[in-house]
């Protein structure tokens, strides 16, 4: 118990060391989670758009679809 306490005390510098490590982890975790959420939102939107397109027409949509038909610009 004593060892843990002295470890947490950081020789009296606990008030500086632990917040520094906390900032490090909080920022990096936020940086990990943000793109994950963005990806899920994006996939949901894409699926909704594809569903709309295939509901309107059996083949890839034209006219009112927000993106150009897939076949033209290759890749």
Partner 1 sequence: MANWVPLWLHRLSSPPTFYRFAGMLQPWAMTLALLLGAIALYGGLVLAPADYQQGDAYRIIFIHVPSAWMSMFIYAVMGVASFIALVWRIKLAEVVAMESAPIGAAFTFITLVTGSLWGKPMWGTWWTWDARLTSELVLLFLFLGVIGLYRAFEDRRQGARAAAFLAIIGIINVPIVHFSVNWWNTLHQGSTVNVFGKSTMSWDMLWPLLTMTLATKFYYAASLFRRARTDLLSLEGGKDWVRQIAQDEDAR
Q: How many residues bind partner 1 (CB under 8 A)?
A: 37
Site for partner 1 contains 16 (CB under 8 A): yes
Alpha-carbon separation of residue 3 from 6, 10, 32, 39 (angstroms): 5, 11, 33, 44
3-state secondary structure of 63: coil
Position of tokens 């295939």?
Answer: 54
* Residues between 31 and 60 that touch partner 1 (CB under 8 A): 31-32, 34-36, 38-39, 42-43, 46-47, 49-50
Paired tokens of 18: 């632990």
> Which of 65, 20, 29, 24 lies closest to 46 in space, CA to CA?
65
Taking CB under 8 A as the criterion, the residue among 12, 55, 58, 64 binding partner 1 is 12
Contacts with partner 1, residue ranges (CB under 8 A): 7, 10-13, 16-17, 19-21, 23-24, 27-28, 30-32, 34-36, 38-39, 42-43, 46-47, 49-50, 65-71, 73, 75
């Amino acid at each position: 118990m004593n060892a843990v306490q002295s470890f947490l005390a950081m020789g009296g510098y606990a008030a500086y060391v632990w917040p520094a490590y906390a900032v490090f982890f909080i920022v990096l975790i936020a940086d990990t989670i943000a793109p994950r959420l963005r990806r899920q939102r994006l996939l949901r939107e894409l699926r909704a758009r594809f569903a709309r397109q295939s509901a309107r027409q059996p083949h890839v949509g034209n006219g009112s679809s927000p993106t150009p038909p897939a076949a033209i610009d290759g890749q």
